[in-house]
Structure 1
Amino acid sequence: MIRLIADENISWRLKELLPAWKILPVNEVKQRERLIDFKIWQYARVNQYLILTLDEEFWDLQNLNSFPPKIIWLRTGNSNTAAIASLLLKSEDLIKQFVGDGESGILELYL
């Protein structure tokens, strides 16, 4: 099963479009304060999630701290949730290979 924690700029509706995937929108993580990027990175590491993001900040964090967690960096511009879901489904085999690859920490996906 693909386990993703979706950064705050990705709609929570993505989990409805991909019900077979384990997608946790970051705003559903129970914390006392808003999760900053480093806390999201730590949460993903401890709980074995891939980070799904549109932002380069996680690339910077991974350069400093290595992986896990692995990052799926969506290079899609301003796309709607349906387009992102479609891209993820088309890339499912690639994502599964990425999960099993011990040498790669970032997978960039383009529309």
Structure 2
Amino acid sequence: MDENLSDQIIHRVVDLYPDSKHVKTLELTNTDDLLIWEFAKANDFVIVSKDSDFHQRSLLYGHPPKFIYLRIGNSPTSRIVQILRDHFDTITQFGDRESESILVLA
């Protein structure tokens, strides 16, 4: 997860997404988006963010890494957790499909 999302989200979705990491735990906070992108690409991560810059990068370069774009504006952590939990099947299927680079959740 990108740093614009709370690191507390991980603890609340780890039962569904056991390999999830936050940029904070990876020591990538205050890092250029390109470095986060390259790290995710090299380590087979999916980026989850509200950052439109990642959306643009994903449109330009495709995947890897795959990108989940949370188009939800300023939302509380509880809402983000609920979205990730409610869309578990959709997110899992997205991860498995080779042809898709971006998943938009609103």
| TM-score, normalization by structure 2 | 0.90
What are structure 2's unaligned runs of at least 5 residues?
none
Residue 103 of structure 1 deviates from its aligned partner by 1.1
Match of 1:53 among 41, 49, 68: 49
Residue 88 of structure 1 deviates from its aligned partner by 0.6
Matched-pair identity in % = 32
Q: Distance in 2 between matches of 1:29 and 1:38?
A: 15
Q: Which residue is equivalent to 1:82?
A: 78
Q: Is 1:15 aligned to 2:10, yes or no?
A: yes
Residue 41 of structure 1 deviates from its aligned partner by 0.5
Match of 1:39 among 35, 49, 53: 35
What are structure 1's unaligned runs of at least 5 residues?
1-5
Q: Which residue is equivalent to 2:22?
A: 25
Residue 49 of structure 1 deviates from its aligned partner by 0.6
Q: Distance in 2 between matches of 1:75 and 1:60?
A: 13
| TM-score, normalization by structure 1 | 0.86
2:65 partner SS: coil
Q: Distance in 2 between matches of 1:103 and 1:71?
A: 13
Residue 39 of structure 1 deviates from its aligned partner by 0.5
Residue 72 of structure 1 deviates from its aligned partner by 0.3
Q: Which residue is equivalent to 2:101?
A: 105
Q: Calculate the aligned-residue CA RMSD, in Å.
A: 1.4
